[in-house]
Structure 1
Amino acid sequence: MILFTDEKKPTTPVDLHLKLKPLNKLKFLSPYGSDWTFGRNACSCRSLNSGMFTYDKFNAGNDNLAIKNRRGLQYEQYKKRNELPAKKVIIAQPHSPLSYPTHGVEVKPLYSILIPGLAVHGMEGENNTVKLTATQGVFNTIVETPDGVVHGSGEKELTIRSPSLAIINNILKHVTYTNKKYQIASTDLVSFQFEEYTAEFTILIRVPPMIRLFDPGPDNSIDSLVTIVTKTFFRYHKLRILISSIRKFYPKIMIIIADDSKVTEKIEGPYIQQYIMPFAKGWFAGRNLAVSQVTTKYLLWVDEDFVFTKKTKLEKLVEVLEKTNLDLVGAPVNQQVFTFKLWYEEGDDEGDCVFSQYGSFHPLDGFPGCVVTSIVVNFFLAKTEKVQSVGFDPRFARVAHTEFFIDGIGSLLVGYCTNVKVGHQKKGAGNKALNEVENKYAAFRRLDRNEFRSRLDMTYFKNRLKCYTRNRV
């Protein structure tokens, strides 16, 4: 109990023992309308719907423990390479006399900078002492100082002592930090101490990524900005219809084809590159090959059985990517809207969780009919460099789609616009020979139980997941 005193009112007891609201009243805090995970150490696979895959069910063999141990070892190595000390939560002390930078201090590896904003405020004592401590760099001053005032120049710990705070603050304005360990991306957590007060701030250590620009040419034409990429397997009749429809609207745009058919056919025509692969090398392997050959700023992915129409306006998709920070933007196939949100939550030693939910996060500012989402259909325009950086795992040979977008969590910003559309060729080839081709193609698309399990095993290990659920509501 705490007593509050007021001159006009008698002392009144106040009960500070507050009860937490029940979880069912906190669902509005969850981004997907389920239980809020605050305070939970790991994501939970409980209460998920029937569309859930729990990966331990598919890794129940005798070697499950060995696989889990290998995955754990790889995860520890991943954390050492990728986690930064800046993830530490730093709490500012109340009424602190310390002034220091809270954000934005950056240095290149092995370079030196002046640390901005360092100062102390308070009553002067006989022997005021300020101490700076770092782990990946050393401190110096760029001014001459009286003897006995500065100790530890060129070391990881710098101490300044003086009866005058004015002298200390003048020196602090001229303190430098020099990084001593070459890493392309890291942080140093600096401790700043005065009397009983201590503050911490981070210095970002990084090599700025090298700039890579794409030249759109003097006319900035769609042909200079976009390359169309596709993958074909057996269905040359579908591919030729696609190319014919493209040429009606974009006669000079480059088309790149990855082809792993058993008996290949040469695709003739200008502005076409056809790359022959080993037979049945696979869906994602073909995507990788096609994407690797793109030299334009953007690539447009299409399936071989699509067809361009008057509504297939690539210029509108280019405008979206040029004027927003999206990396990839999809559009409907045959009027059908296809968007899913992905939610990623950190887990425990068993792995992490990914939930998918139909729909989008919110509208895309400035573009009516466009939204921000996570997964779109196989008709999308994307920044070439971003797609190449995520890549398509070639182990997914027959059926895969969501896996690419899961790999892109945290690095691909995805959108979807309904004002651009592409058609889909009708099923059924119209004659016996072509129907046999379609049946042969369909047979390769089917997954048996072992192939399905193998697909899940790869995701379990590579993405360190313990469960994935679809259509969570």
Structure 2
Amino acid sequence: MWDSNNMRSFRLKWVLTAFVVFGIVGIFVWNTALSSTTDNFKQSFVPMRSQEKRTNCSCRPGPTFYKLENFIDKNELNQVAKRREAEYKQHLKRESSPLDTLLIAQPNSPLRYPIQGVTVPPLQTIIIPELSVQAPFEISYQVSLHATQGTLNTEVPGYEDEVQGRGEHVMNISTSTLDNLNHILNYITYTSTVYEISTADLVSFKFKQYWATFPILIRQPMMPKLYDPGADKKISSLVTITTKTFLRYDSVRRLIDSIRTFYPDIKIIVADDSFVPEKINGSNVEHYIMPPAKGWFAGRNLAVSQVTTKYFLWVDDDFLFTKETKIEKLVEVMETIPKLDVVGGTVAGNDFKFQLIYEEGGEEGGCLHQRNGHLKNLPGFPACVVTSGVVNFFLARPEPVLNVGFDPQLNRVAHSEFFFDGLGALLIGSCGDVSIGHQPAVQSQGNEMNKMYRKFRTNTNEQFKMKLFMYYFKNHLKCFSKN
């Protein structure tokens, strides 16, 4: 029989053997589970997305209503619709962003992570801030991180056995203590591996049954483009007046004379597409000659493209400056609210401001409704409101306006179309306490020059149909209405 010492020795050997065996099995199970977790992480751990297909929009009734496909030749409609759909898909690819993904935060999660504000330049490396796990005691702690447009690493030396996947898209961490885990998490780095100037990576973070997703913005910093207002900050250093003329030289000269009454040294830019250009005299007047009858919006593009001041003031060539034409008031609004891109005034007391209500719609296209009025009051300026479009008398910042652009296909009657294209890109205000006058209409209908002007001023049926085609194709609309 064994004595008690032999029995204790046997039991000790048995316990040690069992510990080693179960340890090896545990490591195998952990590695297998880790591999399985990683695979599942890659395959099924994706953020919840808004997968709902865009639903068709409903066209709002109005005194003016257009179902746009009705104005396209029936024999061509099918091919036009196919071309439009192909271009629209390209548009969605350009405009889509990982930030459009719907992310859902789990309740009572032990995960700590940044939810916004993490940005990395393309192909550069940053430390991901504030990663940690706040969990009760566990025998071991396993965490997984997953990126798609970059790689993960840690700046902590050592821990070779605890960290798997250094420099890869998926990193797995396994430690025996929470302190070690959080020490490693404090120094996790993200390296952008895809060069895009503005996108995002959605990084996944998993511990046990808990998971989270947070965005890392990948963004190439832009250099500022600042305009020097001058030491004196005079209006002439801040603002250029722009206009477009066609045949109406008497009108544009009266406009310039009225400007000089109130602003003697401000720069004036005139874009001119008359058939036989005449010289426009005056100090600090820049006169740009265009191809004949090139068009209304092409002239706007040209005039604004030559502005070198912080703002430009758009006026029609038959307006008149009065004592109520206080450019300073519009500048004050723009300087106080830097996010504003455009602020309009009134013409002979009329502001013509309007709202745009847009629904993206489905495959058939979107729905656009234009109605009079404004959206909200502009804080700090009782006479001003936020709106979607304003009259042809407005102060604006050159760069955002040129980014939207004036479509040169619109060479006759056009105005609202600029604001259609700028919807969502331009923040627009309208102030009722700044006004400009309007010159009396020319009375001599027999005048040959006036007849020619009216010929080019009036929309033809072809021009009208072309405009509706642009709404259908370029703006991907199925209907347009207004009141």
The TM-score, its normalising length taken from structure 2, stands at: 0.87
* Counterpart contact for 2:60–2:369, Cα < 8 Å: no
**What SS class does the counterpart of residue 259 from structure 2 fall into?**
helix
Mark the CA change 1:43 to 1:299 in structure 2 (over 3 Å): closer, same or farther.
farther
* Residue pairs, 1:10-409, within 5 angstroms: 41-324=54-337, 325-409=339-423
**What SS class does the counterpart of residue 303 from structure 1 fall into?**
coil
Moved more, 449-458 or 309-318: 449-458
CA apart distance, 1:437: 2.5
Deviating above 6 A after TM superposition, structure 1's stretches of 4 or more consecutive aligned residues are none
* Counterpart contact for 2:247–2:453, Cα < 8 Å: yes
Deviation string 1:397-442 (CA, Å, 9 cap, x unpaired) is 111111100111111100011111100001124x577x44233212
Alpha-carbon separation, structure 1, partners of 2:138 and 2:87: 53
* Counterpart contact for 1:124–1:163, Cα < 8 Å: no
One-letter amino acid matched to 1:327? D
Matched, 1:450 2:462: yes
Of 458, 473, 480, which aligns to 1:461? 473
**What SS class does the counterpart of residue 289 from structure 1 fall into?**
helix
**What SS class does the counterpart of residue 72 from structure 1 fall into?**
helix
One-letter amino acid matched to 1:412? L
Name structure 2 gaps, 5 residues minimum.
1-51
Deviation string 1:102-121 (CA, Å, 9 cap, x unpaired) is 11111110111111121112
Partner of 1:32: none
One-letter amino acid matched to 1:183? E
Alpha-carbon separation, structure 1, partners of 2:228 and 2:136: 61
**What SS class does the counterpart of residue 318 from structure 1 fall into?**
helix
Deviation string 1:238-297 (CA, Å, 9 cap, x unpaired) is 111111101101111111111111111100111111111111111001111111111111
Alpha-carbon separation, structure 2, partners of 1:454 and 1:215: 42
CA apart distance, 1:159: 0.5
CA apart distance, 1:44: 2.2
Alpha-carbon separation, structure 2, partners of 1:316 and 1:161: 64
Partner of 2:482: 470
**What SS class does the counterpart of residue 191 from structure 1 fall into?**
strand
One-letter amino acid matched to 1:425? Q
Partner of 2:18: none
Moved more, 372-381 or 341-350: 341-350
Of 401, 424, 445, which aligns to 2:438? 424
Name structure 1 gaps, 5 residues minimum.
1-38
Alpha-carbon separation, structure 1, partners of 2:195 and 2:132: 29
Mark the CA change 1:40 to 1:81 in structure 2 (over 3 Å): closer, same or farther.
closer
One-letter amino acid matched to 1:149? E
Deviation string 1:436-473 (CA, Å, 9 cap, x unpaired) is 423321221222222211111122211111122213xx
Q: CA RMSD in A?
A: 1.5
One-letter amino acid matched to 2:461? R
**What SS class does the counterpart of residue 166 from structure 1 fall into?**
helix
CA apart distance, 1:394: 0.3
CA apart distance, 1:47: 4.7
Partner of 1:4: none
Moved more, 52-61 or 187-196: 52-61
Mark the CA change 1:96 to 1:221 in structure 2 (over 3 Å): closer, same or farther.
same
* Counterpart contact for 1:140–1:153, Cα < 8 Å: yes
Alpha-carbon separation, structure 2, partners of 1:96 and 1:344: 39
Give the number of the structure whose alpha-carbon radius of gyration is greater.
2
Deviation string 1:356-381 (CA, Å, 9 cap, x unpaired) is 22111111111120111011000000
Mark the CA change 1:299 to 1:43 in structure 2 (over 3 Å): closer, same or farther.
farther
CA apart distance, 1:231: 0.6
Percent identity reads 51
* Counterpart contact for 2:59–2:368, Cα < 8 Å: no
Moved more, 235-244 or 141-150: 141-150
Mark the CA change 1:46 to 1:330 in structure 2 (over 3 Å): closer, same or farther.
closer
